Structure 1
């Protein structure tokens, strides 16, 4: 089974050195979405400054096979900013 690595770049590089095996690319896409969603859920408040972060998924040879990009900006108009 092919192994894929999920690297996160958000001002610091968080490299996946272990990777995960998946039977096909549909599973790789689903895992990228699930993992990105978990990051946004757990650390979402950090991302509201407009800075882009990304997840770069590579194969075992280091070739990028998909990339997800995210940024969030509240436009400084939120009435209940704390």
Structure 2
């Protein structure tokens, strides 16, 4: 069993100082996806500010095993629509 650390960077560094003991790299990948889903589910909308965020998974020696990268990008029509809506509010 190996201890894996799931560090998040979303404009600020959120290091996982405790880690999670899992039986394999496959289990660590599954845990990373599950954890990411929870983070996105609990997000209050900050994810949509256009900044990328990352989950970096490392082992006990600090070796980066894999990274999950996320960014939300609205289609250009949505950006135009939002600007038009903002102009109407004025």
Structure 1 stretches (4+) deviating beyond 6 angstroms? none
Number of paired residues? Answer: 81
CA displacement at 1:74 relative to structure 2:
2.3
d(CA) in 2 for partners of 1:63 and 1:23? 17
d(CA) in 2 for partners of 1:9 and 1:17? 14
What are the ranges of 5 or more consecutive residues in structure 2 without an aligned counterpart?
Answer: none
TM-score by length of 2: 0.81
- More helix, by proportion: 2
What are the ranges of 5 or more consecutive residues in structure 1 without an aligned counterpart?
Answer: none
Question: Any idea what the Cα deviations from partners look like across 1:53-75, whole Å, max 9, x if unmatched?
Answer: 00000000001001000000224
State the match for 2:15 in structure 1.
15
d(CA) in 2 for partners of 1:42 and 1:71? 16
Contact map agreement 1:49 1:74 (CA 8 A) in 2: no
State the match for 1:38 in structure 2.
38
State the match for 1:49 in structure 2.
49
Question: Any idea what the Cα deviations from partners look like across 1:25-73, whole Å, max 9, x if unmatched?
Answer: 1110000000001111111511112210000000000010010000002
SS of the equivalent of 1:48 reads helix
